[in-house]
Structure 1
Amino acid sequence: MNMNETRIRRLIGPEPRSYWDDLEFSGRNEWNDRILSQLVFAQELSKVNGLKYDEVIAKALDYIEERIAEDGAIVKQTALEAEQMLESLTEDAKSYDVIAVAHAHIDMNWMWGWDETVSVTIDTFRTMLNLMEEYPEFTFSQSQASIYRIVEQYAPEMLQEIKRRVKEGRWEITASHWVEADKNMPSGESLARHILYTKRYLSALFDIDPGSLNLDFEPDTFGHSLQVPEILASGGVKYYYHCRGSEGEPLTRWEGPSGKSVIVFRELTWYNDFVRPVFTSYVPDICRKTGLKTYLYVYGVGDHGGGPTRRDLNRLRAMQEWPICPRIRFGGYADYFKEAERIADRLPVVKGELNAVFTGCYTSQSRIKNANRVSEATLNEAELFSSVAAAAHGAVYPSATFEEAWRGVLFNQFHDILPGSGVIDTREHALGLFQNTMAIAGTNRKLALERIAADIDTSSIDIGSTAANTAQGAGVGYGTRDFRITQVERGQGSTRIVHVFNSSLEAREEIVEIVLWDWKSPIKAIVVKTAAGEPVESQIIDSGRHWYWSHDYLRLLARVQVPACGYATLTVSEGDGYSSQIVIGDPRVDRDESYVLENAYLRAAFDPKDATVISLIDKRTGEELIDPQRPAGLFRLIQEDPSKGMAAWWVGRFMEINSLHERIILKKTQAGDLRQTLSYELKFGKFGTSSLKVAVSLDACGTSLDYQIECDWQESGSRETSIPQLQFHFPHSYASTSYKYDVPFGTIMREAREIELPGNSFIQALRDGDGSKPSLFIVTSNKYGFRGADQSMSVSLIRGSFDPDPYPELGSHHRIKLSVCLADAAVSNRDIIAQAYRLCHPLNVLSGTKRAGSRPVESGYVELLEGTVAVSAIKAPEGVSGASWIIRLYETEGRQTSAALKLFKGAVRAYAVDVNENLIPGDSSVSLSGDRLTVKVGAYSIAAVRVDF
């Protein structure tokens, strides 16, 4: 701080938090405020000009100090005279242009419920509209499509006022997303749907060009994932405004791995504030950094709405008349980014993700995160099978209904909802939206499968006797708890027909569970066959019947092969002999217990005392994949240091780490040709009231240990004690200094760090230096917080954060699936993504009936034949009722590829579209030959194709 700065500081008085920061001359007269603010700006202007004006400023300070000594304060005459002494700075000062952009940051259900969000929105907008009447020059900008939906639903007359101001150019719509969303946990498909549904909705609502919705306004979002530039650019979004997630230059060009980019403005002075005249002090230096003489000044009280006030507007009006001040005008973000476009080629280029911020938000409020993952997965399948049913079976595609479901998902991806940094009301509303989404998605998925099944010709299958059969209609609602299609029985004979559906675009051979209702025959061997009569391996599980709402059921496993995006048909009937899989009566002799799960690929040995994994051998190479001195498959209760505060946002320092495997109760082991299972239970916690039930399975055709976890969590944190965390921990034997994670529309390698980092579903421990050997990865069904460090992978399962929701995890039964998987050295990113997809999208089992139909008993509808791509969606185009598909995919390996897909029949035409489903003019990346579709996809790029049948 030089001498002039010291003197100005002395005149300002009490110390603000930092130099010039929060300068507010409360209690002094307006002339004091006026001249001191101009002196602060003048000094900053001098600094960027080689101290050019220091002497002039010093003389003005001499004069002011003399007058204060005589008058006791800065009076009007003193201020005006000092301004005259600074007159030589005026031309330079007025060469700067400040665009003052008013906004109201409205958090969706952050510290309050939905009704309050609605009230905040309506009250804020009434203030803005009133100010527009009073101040003709005032302009206002507002993001988030969901906010305009609130006005449309709850204050339609106000919407008409807003439409008029939009037409006048005084109300700027800055929304290209449904909400200001998290950018790490939503899938790539979700982030694409934000753009698709927002642009369609707002352009129709306000009769504006959807191309004008080209700003992604994310001031408070907690980090920004790798592929955000690719997604935005592909959706016609050119600009990005954010505050958190990096500490670099304020104006940059953020480039994704594909080379597509967006212009990014990073707010340096925060986005929630009332007008303080000292804001001009930031102008010279920030403009020096951006290369523009234009400065973006965002003002308006927010979080809980409110926006700018009369004081703000009056101050800006007054400052427009000050001589030693930049030119100030009311405007919008579009005005600023238009200036930024002029120097786009000269902007510094930023690459990579802009993370991490508030790492506790990858783990807090696990029920909301479960809702997000399950909603995305179920909608994916519902849209896929509904598209098939419409194009191949004449069904009606429920486009508007799916949009309603998606709006619920997108709303819950707000940056204080999905990250779990909200209160009880936040959670309750989110879970209510989840129920509605699942009612839509689950129902339409089931209806689509039933429509497809209705055309399958099963007329040649003998269903046997139907006399006095009570099975028809049994099992209504069964399976909903696990978010599967309901397992209601439609068969009625001694032979049951079962259809198995595969949502993957590749054929699958897996073990599926079949539920048999009211199977009243004697306990004979149950035989499973293909519809062609070929035997299928099967295994009865549980060894008994279970009661369910006046019906009973038993469960069996079957090994089935299902075509890509298609179905297979099985029959279940009585055999001639007794089953060797059912033990009848008491045991004859005692045998040694075996705590080993083994198939042709893996051998996993468990400690008989604590059920941890003490050996995991890749049988194809003989390599031991874990260190026997570091047991794996370990559930740990961690106590985090709460002193950092904001428990939902931050993971605290690990104060204490305790294994939960000290008093394990091994409940049962299940051995069979198709699946082997080891189950155990344990109690834990301060009072021993929390419990964990774990079933670890190995399937005959699998290369993974599959964990089914149920937790009754009775732990809570506090500011005085700790933040409890349940963690799954899996050390590995080989050295790994980097780990791979899946992110929206891609993967990323990160160095080993003792910090929670986000993944859409998996973490892979990469081998150091040797790519010729297999590696391990962990896939989860509903978790996002991973930690790769110290030659181990960890997943945060549940955290008992206490702020702002004191009991976020209590009162629910937590159900978690995760798999520890073996990846061959040659396995690609696409293969791992596909395996993660299979965990979250198990095969669907549907009870069938005997009927005539036009479709064979086994068939597929679309198959990915080649190409390093993953398919994120197949859906019908928006607003189209005919037989058409949108297929969206993304490249996974970092090289240009040609993706080839086989369709269920020849298409009429196919062409490339963008995220908004508009034709891309001049694009020649798509070719069609009969039923074969080929799409050229650039490295790390996303692509979408419209196919008309």
Structure 2
Amino acid sequence: MEYWAERIGAQLRYAKELCAAGAAEDNGVIKNVEEFLARERAENGALTKAAAQEAEGMLIEQFGTAAKQFTIICAGHAHIDMNWMWRYDETVSITLETFRTVLNLMNEYPEFRFSQSQASVYEIVAKYDPEMLEEIKERVHEGRWEVTAATWVEADKNMPSGESAARHLLYTRGYLAKLLDIPGDGLDLDYEPDTFGHSLTVPEILAKGGVKYYYHCRGYEGHNLYRWQAPSGSSILVYREPHWYLGGVNPDWAYYVPEFCMRHGLNTMLRVYGVGDHGGGPTRRDLERIIEMSSWPVFPNLRFGTYGEFFALAETIQDRLPVVEGELNFVFTGCYTSQSRIKMANKVAENALGEAELLQAFSHSATGAPGSPERMAGAWQKVLFNQFHDILPGSCTIDPREHAMGMFQEAMAEAGTAKMRAMRQIAGAVDTASLGIGAGDGTQSTGEGAGVGFGVESFRVSQTSRSGGKERLFQIFNTAAVSRSEAVEIVIWDWPGDYSKLIVTDHTGRRLSHQLLDKEPRTYWAHRYMRVLVNVEVPACGYATLVINEECREDLPKPLPRDPRLDAPDEFVLENEHLRAEFHPQTGALVSLIAKATGEELIDGTRGGRFRLVTEDDAKRMTSWRVGRYMDVQDLTTGVRLKHVEYGEEGIRNSISMETEFGRSKLEVTISLDEGSTMLDYDVKCEWHERGRTGEGIPQLNFNLPLSYKCDVYRYDAPCGTVDRQPLDHDVPANNWAWALPNSPGGKSAALMSKTNYGFRGWDNSLSHTLVRSSFDPDPDPEYGVHRFRFAVAVVDGNAANGEVIKAAQAYNQPLTALSVKPNAGDLPLKGSFMEIASGTAVLSAVKLPEEGPDGAVIVRLYEAEGQDSMATLKFHGKVEGAEFADITERGLGSEGIEFSGSELRFPITKYSVVTMNVKLAGN
């Protein structure tokens, strides 16, 4: 009885929807059927099978033909969250058991089709159940198992860098094509059902990786079927799920079909089904209902199918679909800041791998040393896994975080090892023997080998000493695509000389200014060291050579007592040739920031740049996903202890330290300004013991920078691009920086740049940067402990090109690296650049070895930052023998428009586009 009541009720409702959509005429039939059914219920107390069949016959006569003009493609899927609220071993179990269910059902239902995303789940099968992999491959080749994985995981689309987005496409296509023996170019759907918002550059990156289609649910409330166009003009065909990406099969599926199909000019609609989040997939009931409901005479056709089939139909009407531009944001704004350790790990690992690959590529091209792209791929895949939309966004629990941090350490081990190996290969080919440096103290030396592991805790390569004696040799590496004249920190181990006589020279013998950062040598595992800051010039993507020695002269300045002769009011000012920054002597707030070139004051001194303890309202719950309304804002400006940091007298770096305690926590900050710099660097250590609780709110630590000038537009960097946003009183994501654009053209302006975090807020003529927040669900205590954050207040021209800000942020995130070396003979000069962007508006995304390719080839990826069609010129260290365009997956696209001569390469790059070049350099 219930079955027939549901069946006739669903068909009656569907007939109404046909009429409402203009797909059929009623002619009073619906009313007659409704009256008939009402009488039957009244007379019999229920709806009998006979009555339902009679009513069905009445509907068939009027609507039977119209009903079957529409079809629902039923795409079976299992949404498998990577470690959302469980351990990785549970993710493995979920995956394997779900797929066993699917394979069993396929054996029983020959028409059943199944679709599955994420390269990570196929990797699980290959690693833990290779026999199952063979079964899946068989179904894939039959066309019954659709591989919808274009990315390693269903990743966040706002915080990962553009290069990470490219690596998802590169490694997924290569891995799955080989693993499953399928054409890589068939992986043309990016399936992102649950991703929390989408950057405006997604269509450009996907299009350049061979992806044509996009499926999503969140971040946009407009059209269901549309073309999403990037600022470059590249577009992809998008289906925004009007319902949801998981669940069971029900008759109400049919009710939406007529309107959807009539609105789009299609006769087919897509519906996704299957138990998900914790896996599960389609059930036997789902399959039986699809078969059963398709047989109902006044109902749409239902058939097992795939996403690819639907998108192929949608592609036939794409020219008349609406075009959507811009980012598809914002949803779950707490995910830009929750679980700050995971966010730090992602940003640090992306930069570390990028630096290692660049050095490895140029070590190979310059010295012939072999690279290891397969090992780099393995490290990248660990980073990509952690970009899953519940891991990097922080909406997870302690077990996923611990797993993520373990994978981060493994990726960093690979990156650090590869970077060190590449630098030593390059150093081994530089003709440092020409400097005539001695071999050191021989058997009496303790310096050689000192310092193993030193600096790695700060995500640098080990600052191990490779020489002894007074004369020491260092090479300084710059992995940014801009020439840099700035301070680099070098570490000298067990030096037998007099530090008051220490001198630093470059490869020409020119004296370089330096500053001792320690009053006395410090101790580290039975060795003693001194940190020295040196002003050095290093070319783009290149290196320079420095020599440390003891000055041989007797007329050195005689030290005088430094006892105070007069007292003066405390003044806390950091100043160089570009900036003057003043801090309030009681509160530590940045109350003045003057750009000396113009004399402009950039800070609203009545508020000052200061740290704040915010209490968010937790009324919306889902605290890791949502930043609540600011209920209370407490400036951390009381009980502040300020002091000048004492370094050597040379003045390359000046710093102020501040400490304060609040709640149960402690904040220690060192603010530094280097000679020649336009950035105030904030090195923050926070012992965080604040906890969020239901009804009490969510504690948050942020830094707020109020501005003296009017700002109605804030610019942020996005993956391979930038985005302008209006003032918004909530957090927004940025890869590295937020820039407050002045309403008045010209002059100077301020930006915040970060090495560790992603959440910014441009509001009320101010910039804010969220550092840590204690959400309490699903993890009740995700942030307890000691944190390190790094960010900078940067002064930039108000009309600066985007590329200038992007390059400054890249340099900030990739500090110069010092390497202790021994002298050796070689063919490379003492100072050199492997590559520079000599002209054009492109900025560098990556330099790497090709996944497969000839010796001497390098992959260079860039993106256009200014919205201009232009010619880019790259200058390499060696002769260019050939070049071609490639897509992100490194498939060749021809060489039209490319010119090269000697060491220079010229090629066109269109506005806001991503370009990948495969460049063949002369052999060694």
Common topology (TM > 0.5) = yes
Which deviates the most, 733-742 or 660-669?
660-669
2:734: which partner in 1?
Answer: 759
Q: Report SS of the residue matched to 2:790.
A: strand
Amino acid in structure 1 at the alignment position of 2:640: I
1:850: which partner in 2?
Answer: 823
Cα deviation per residue 1:618-671 (whole Å; 9 max; x = unaligned)? 111111111221212x00000001111011000001010001121111143346
Q: 2:668 aligns with which of 681, 685, 693?
A: 693
1:745: which partner in 2?
Answer: 720
1:637-676 counterparts in 2 under 5 A? 637-670=613-646, 672-676=650-654
Q: 1:682 aligns with which of 651, 657, 660?
A: 660
How far apart, CA to CA, are the structure 1 residues paired with 2:191 and 2:463? Answer: 44
1:466-481 counterparts in 2 under 5 A? 466=441, 468-481=444-457
Note closer, same or farther for the CA distance 1:763–1:729 as it changes in structure 2 (3 Å cut): same
How far apart, CA to CA, are the structure 2 residues paired with 1:301 and 1:372? Answer: 30
Amino acid in structure 2 at the alignment position of 1:718: R
Instruction: Answer yes or no: is 1:440 the counterpart of 2:417.
Output: no
1:711: which partner in 2?
Answer: 686
How far apart, CA to CA, are the structure 1 residues paired with 2:115 and 2:651? Answer: 64
- Structure 1 residues without counterparts, runs of 5 or longer: 1-27
Q: Shift of the alpha carbon at 1:589? A: 5.3
How far apart, CA to CA, are the structure 2 residues paired with 1:581 and 1:516? Answer: 24
Cα contact 1:275–1:312 (8 A) shared by 2: yes
Amino acid in structure 1 at the alignment position of 2:205: I
Q: Shift of the alpha carbon at 1:556? A: 1.3
1:783-932 counterparts in 2 under 5 A? 783-811=757-785, 813-880=786-853, 882-921=855-894, 923-932=895-904
Cα deviation per residue 1:897-944 (whole Å; 9 max; x = unaligned)? 1110111111221011111111114x5132211210112100010001
How far apart, CA to CA, are the structure 1 residues paired with 2:685 and 2:811? Answer: 20
Cα contact 1:397–1:881 (8 A) shared by 2: no
Which deviates the most, 528-537 or 44-53?
44-53
Cα contact 1:909–1:928 (8 A) shared by 2: yes
1:185-196 counterparts in 2 under 5 A? 185-196=159-170
Q: 2:29 aligns with which of 56, 79, 83?
A: 56
Instruction: Answer yes or no: is 1:606 the counterpart of 2:570.
Output: no
Amino acid in structure 1 at the alignment position of 2:503: V
Cα contact 1:543–1:582 (8 A) shared by 2: no
1:37: which partner in 2?
Answer: 10
1:412-431 counterparts in 2 under 5 A? 412-431=386-405
Cα deviation per residue 1:483-526 (whole Å; 9 max; x = unaligned)? 11110001111111111001112211011111111123334231
Q: Shift of the alpha carbon at 1:693? A: 1.0
Cα deviation per residue 1:558-592 (whole Å; 9 max; x = unaligned)? 10001111111111112246987988775565454
Q: Report SS of the residue matched to 1:655.
A: strand
2:706: which partner in 1?
Answer: 731
Instruction: Answer yes or no: is 1:461 the counterpart of 2:436.
Output: yes
1:616: which partner in 2?
Answer: 593
Q: Shift of the alpha carbon at 1:463? A: 3.9
RMSD: 1.5
Instruction: Answer yes or no: is 1:487 the counterpart of 2:460.
Output: no
How far apart, CA to CA, are the structure 1 residues paired with 2:641 and 2:393? Answer: 35
Instruction: Answer yes or no: is 1:378 the counterpart of 2:352.
Output: yes
2:69: which partner in 1?
Answer: 95
Cα contact 1:640–1:725 (8 A) shared by 2: yes
Cα contact 1:581–1:672 (8 A) shared by 2: no
- Structure 2 residues without counterparts, runs of 5 or longer: none
How far apart, CA to CA, are the structure 2 residues paired with 1:799 and 1:508? Answer: 35
Q: Report SS of the residue matched to 1:524.
A: helix
Instruction: Answer yes or no: is 1:948 the counterpart of 2:895.
Output: no
How far apart, CA to CA, are the structure 2 residues paired with 1:136 and 1:192? Answer: 37
Q: Shift of the alpha carbon at 1:208? A: 1.2
Note closer, same or farther for the CA distance 1:584–1:478 as it changes in structure 2 (3 Å cut): farther
Cα contact 1:396–1:881 (8 A) shared by 2: no
Note closer, same or farther for the CA distance 1:465–1:331 as it changes in structure 2 (3 Å cut): closer
Cα deviation per residue 1:274-309 (whole Å; 9 max; x = unaligned)? 001111111112223333111101111100110111
Which deviates the most, 802-811 or 462-471?
462-471
How far apart, CA to CA, are the structure 2 residues paired with 1:397 and 1:862? Answer: 18
How far apart, CA to CA, are the structure 2 residues paired with 1:519 and 1:831? Answer: 40
How far apart, CA to CA, are the structure 1 residues paired with 2:152 and 2:340? Answer: 22
Q: Report SS of the residue matched to 2:893.
A: coil
1:208: which partner in 2?
Answer: 182
Cα contact 2:24–2:66 (8 A) shared by 1: no
Cα contact 2:748–2:797 (8 A) shared by 1: yes
Q: 2:473 aligns with which of 475, 497, 503?
A: 497
Amino acid in structure 1 at the alignment position of 2:839: E
How far apart, CA to CA, are the structure 1 residues paired with 2:593 and 2:868? Answer: 34
Q: Report SS of the residue matched to 1:282.
A: helix
How far apart, CA to CA, are the structure 2 residues paired with 1:129 and 1:373? Answer: 39
Q: Shift of the alpha carbon at 1:614? A: 1.2
Which deviates the most, 542-551 or 338-347?
542-551
Amino acid in structure 2 at the alignment position of 1:787: R
Q: Percent identity?
A: 48
Q: Shift of the alpha carbon at 1:100? A: 0.6
Q: Report SS of the residue matched to 2:286.
A: helix
Cα contact 1:539–1:581 (8 A) shared by 2: no
Instruction: Answer yes or no: is 1:105 the counterpart of 2:79.
Output: yes
Note closer, same or farther for the CA distance 1:59–1:450 as it changes in structure 2 (3 Å cut): same
Q: Report SS of the residue matched to 1:748.
A: strand
How far apart, CA to CA, are the structure 2 residues paired with 1:627 and 1:193? Answer: 42
Cα contact 2:335–2:394 (8 A) shared by 1: yes
Query: How many residues align structurally?
Result: 915
Note closer, same or farther for the CA distance 1:580–1:435 as it changes in structure 2 (3 Å cut): farther
Q: Shift of the alpha carbon at 1:123? A: 0.4
How far apart, CA to CA, are the structure 1 residues paired with 2:458 and 2:19? Answer: 66
Q: Shift of the alpha carbon at 1:600? A: 1.1
1:311-322 counterparts in 2 under 5 A? 311-322=285-296
Q: Report SS of the residue matched to 2:328.
A: coil
Q: Shift of the alpha carbon at 1:49? A: 1.6
Amino acid in structure 2 at the alignment position of 1:423: T
Q: Shift of the alpha carbon at 1:54? A: 6.8
Q: Report SS of the residue matched to 1:86.
A: helix
Which deviates the most, 215-224 or 702-711?
702-711
Note closer, same or farther for the CA distance 1:920–1:465 as it changes in structure 2 (3 Å cut): closer
1:406: which partner in 2?
Answer: 380
Cα contact 2:612–2:701 (8 A) shared by 1: yes
Instruction: Answer yes or no: is 1:628 the counterpart of 2:601.
Output: no
Instruction: Answer yes or no: is 1:537 the counterpart of 2:519.
Output: no
Cα deviation per residue 1:239-292 (whole Å; 9 max; x = unaligned)? 000000111111001011111100000001111110011111111122233331
Q: 1:518 aligns with which of 494, 497, 516?
A: 494
1:249-260 counterparts in 2 under 5 A? 249-260=223-234
Q: Report SS of the residue matched to 1:198.
A: helix
Q: Report SS of the residue matched to 1:528.
A: strand
Cα contact 2:594–2:602 (8 A) shared by 1: yes
1:352-371 counterparts in 2 under 5 A? 352-371=326-345
Note closer, same or farther for the CA distance 1:68–1:906 as it changes in structure 2 (3 Å cut): same
Cα deviation per residue 1:62-103 (whole Å; 9 max; x = unaligned)? 111111112221221111111111111111110001111100
Cα contact 2:542–2:833 (8 A) shared by 1: yes
Q: Report SS of the residue matched to 1:543.
A: coil
Amino acid in structure 2 at the alignment position of 1:519: W
Cα deviation per residue 1:593-622 (whole Å; 9 max; x = unaligned)? 431111111111111111111111111111
Q: Report SS of the residue matched to 1:650.
A: coil
Amino acid in structure 2 at the alignment position of 1:941: S
